[in-house]
Amino acid sequence: MKGYKKLLFVAVTVFILLSSHISYCEPIEINAKSGILIEVNTGRVLFSYNSNIKLPMASTTKIMTALLALEYGNLDDLVTIKKSSVGIEGSSIYLKEGERIRLKDLVYGLMLRSGNDAAIAIAEHVGGTVDNFIKLMNRKAKELGAINTNFTNPHGLHDENHYTTAYDLALITREALKKKEFRDIVKSKVWVADRDINKYFYNKNKTLWQYKGGDGVKTGYTKKAGRCLVASATRNGMQLVAIVLDDYSWFNDCYKLLDYGFSVFKPKVIFNKGQFIRNIEVINGNRKKVPIITNNELIIPIKDNEIENIKINIELPEKIYAPIEKNQKIGKIRVYLNGELFAVNDLVVKYSVKEKSILIKLTDYLSKIF
């Protein structure tokens, strides 16, 4: 790229492997038809088994329903329950026609008790109609790259055209876990709703009790889908999500995947937010040079033997022209593993730099002549 100087550093002190596009076949046996293990921060796939085959996912569907409720709804909204939300097959929080209940309580009932009636009530409130809400679900899935997913309902009751993959479900879960409200909901063991009866919601996800660091996410079961589980846990600042679809040993297999992830992969700081990269010459500025820093941190889960074969490419101009704003994007830092791009981060200017006045520019010009 014209006007840019590229600095290539090979075998940086630490690093990586990744990409949610790369999967790893480790000698781990699980009983699922499909399974995956990812690290939430980077999306790196740590284990994959048949993770792109389309399968029904039962109530793990509700991860998307909750995500859209948080994106499009107000948790303090009072929802008036319609007849169409009452008496839905399967798990229920026992909604009554005409009942007024907060959207927040509906989402807790959705994720802790897996209320199918709560799913319909949320869909009607957020989407106007269930059909409109389903359109939102499918649109969001495509936006996230979950291209092998199709929703026909907000709860996960069986339909031949309602399916996902373990990989797609990982993408959806990772997006949901970016929201603090979602994280708070799925890690709650119990919730007391603001209603007169049936107000205690106990979480069905045993991961919260049985697994050290367990903090989510959702169980699911139908006869057609089998036992499906999205289990998350956080240790030493690293959050992992294990997913199994159609697995009679659902909790044990998710724990096995989480154990593998925490024992084999360790979080490594590649660079911190605000880390100094180098100084760049400023033309016509009240500073001769300005420091360039990283805009964000990068922490990656890696194995001990993945330190080598890492390359970092820093792309910056040799000089920049004033005026310059603080945090103005000025370049890129790209991280590669075995020739494959892992991550891209912005490099920014640490300080604002004002342009020289016309008088100072003239003085500088004359000094060069004489």
DSSP state for residue 60 in the 8-state scheme: G
DSSP three-state, residue 231: strand
Distances (CA, A) of 160 to 7, 51, 54, 153, 311: 53, 19, 11, 11, 46
- The pairing of beta strand 329-337 with beta strand 298-302: unpaired
Report CA torsion sign: 170, 218, 182, 83. Answer: positive
End-to-end Cα separation, the chain, in angstroms: 37
Which residues in 214-369 belong to E strands, given as ranges? 214-222, 226-235, 238-245, 266-271, 276-283, 289-294, 298-302, 310-317, 319-321, 329-337, 340-349
| Other residues' Cβ atoms within 10 Å of the Cβ of residue 7 | 12
* φ, ψ of residue 235 in degrees (nearest 5): -140, 140
Quote the CA–CA distance of 106 and 88 in Å, as a whole number: 14
Q: How far is CA 89 from the centre of its chain?
A: 31
| CA dist., res. 227 & res. 161, Å (int) | 18
Cβ atoms within 10 A of the Cβ of 334, count?
15
Judge whether 195 and 127 are in contact, CB under 8 Å: no
Q: In what order do the strands lie in the sheet with 214-222?
A: 45-49, 34-39, 238-245, 226-235, 214-222
DSSP classification of residue 24: -
Catalytic site positions: 59, 62, 114
Question: Which segments within the chain are labelled E, that is strand?
Answer: 4-10, 34-39, 45-49, 78-80, 100-102, 190-192, 200-202, 214-222, 226-235, 238-245, 266-271, 276-283, 289-294, 298-302, 310-317, 319-321, 329-337, 340-349
Three-state DSSP class for residue 23: coil
